[in-house]
Amino acid sequence: MPGPEQAVLLLRLAGPLQSWGDQSAFNRRDTRPQPTKSGVIGLLAAAAGHPRHEPLGDLLGLTMGVRVDQEGTLLRDYHTVSDYQGRPLPQAGVSAKGVQRPTSPAKYTHITQRFYLQDAVFVAAVAGPRPLMESLAEAVTRPAFPLALGRRSCVPSQPILLGVTSEPILDALTSQPWQAGDPARTAWERRHGRLASIDRMVTVEAVDGDQILNDEPVSFDPHDRRYATRRVTHLWRSIPTGFDNPVPPADDSSAHDPFALLGW
């Protein structure tokens, strides 16, 4: 007996700041250049009202792809931490009684660094059974818990839901119009004209993918966080810009030709 019809949930991930870490330490929180699968599944789990300690259930085994519509820029947030009473900072580890010991030798200032993506825009595509995808589409419009773009402080600036489609992931990411913000679209139009398409990078899961990522969520339980690896491949696809009445850039026949003196 055939299983339920498959569908793809399309999400717009845009905000002033995003941070998609997968190998962060206590004093340094990095971000990947595009959303992680654990981050996107975590967003959907929050929308659907799944507490962290509960099993992921039907959110396990979903397939994901990401399109980079606006790369953004990297921001480093530099912090120093100290005790307001001037006492030595405690160690990260705890004693048998669960009490943190002071640092030895005494350390009064701790440096931490956090990295973010500024003004980035992505399209994420999550594939699974249609009933589940439609349920998650409803959830992201009325989330049970606040939604975040990787970290709690990174809130979305635009509606997340783009829709649900029956297309395969790669086709869905290719046919969805460009979601870049107005300043990026205007700058691109000045340089290239109102073209009908633009090339964008797409990352999709593939059994024979050329990159291995350790961001497949298995458990979000704070006491038992677990992740598995997955393979992805990176492709370039021409996608619609969404411009009304697209036209090619003007032909500047007076432009300098460096080979003119050679008769080429």
Domains and CATH numbers, the chain: 6-76+112-243 (3.30.70.2660)
pLDDT of residue 256: 57
pLDDT at position 254 is 46
Between strands 161-165 and 100-102, the pairing is: unpaired
Q: Rounded to whole angstroms, how far apart are CA atoms 83 and 204?
A: 46
Nearest Cα to 67, choosing from 152, 111, 8? 8
Helix extents (H) in the chain: 37-48, 130-141, 169-175, 182-192
Q: Give CA 4 to chain center in angstroms.
A: 28
Which parts of the chain have pLDDT scores under 50?
252-254
pLDDT in tens, 100-158: 887 878 887 878 888 999 999 999 999 999 999 999 999 999 999 999 999 999 999 98
Q: Using CA atoms, how far apart are residues 247 and 215, in angstroms rounded to an integer?
A: 41
Cβ partners under 8 Å of residue 39, min gap 6: 20, 149, 150, 215
Q: Give the number of other CB atoms < 10 A from CB of residue 44.
A: 26
Identify the CA nearest to 152 among candidates 8, 2, 43, 59.
Answer: 43
Which pLDDT value is given to residue 257?
A: 59
Alpha carbon distance 57, 219 (integer Å): 10
pLDDT of residue 140: 96
C-alpha to C-alpha distance for 166 and 127, rounded to whole angstroms = 9
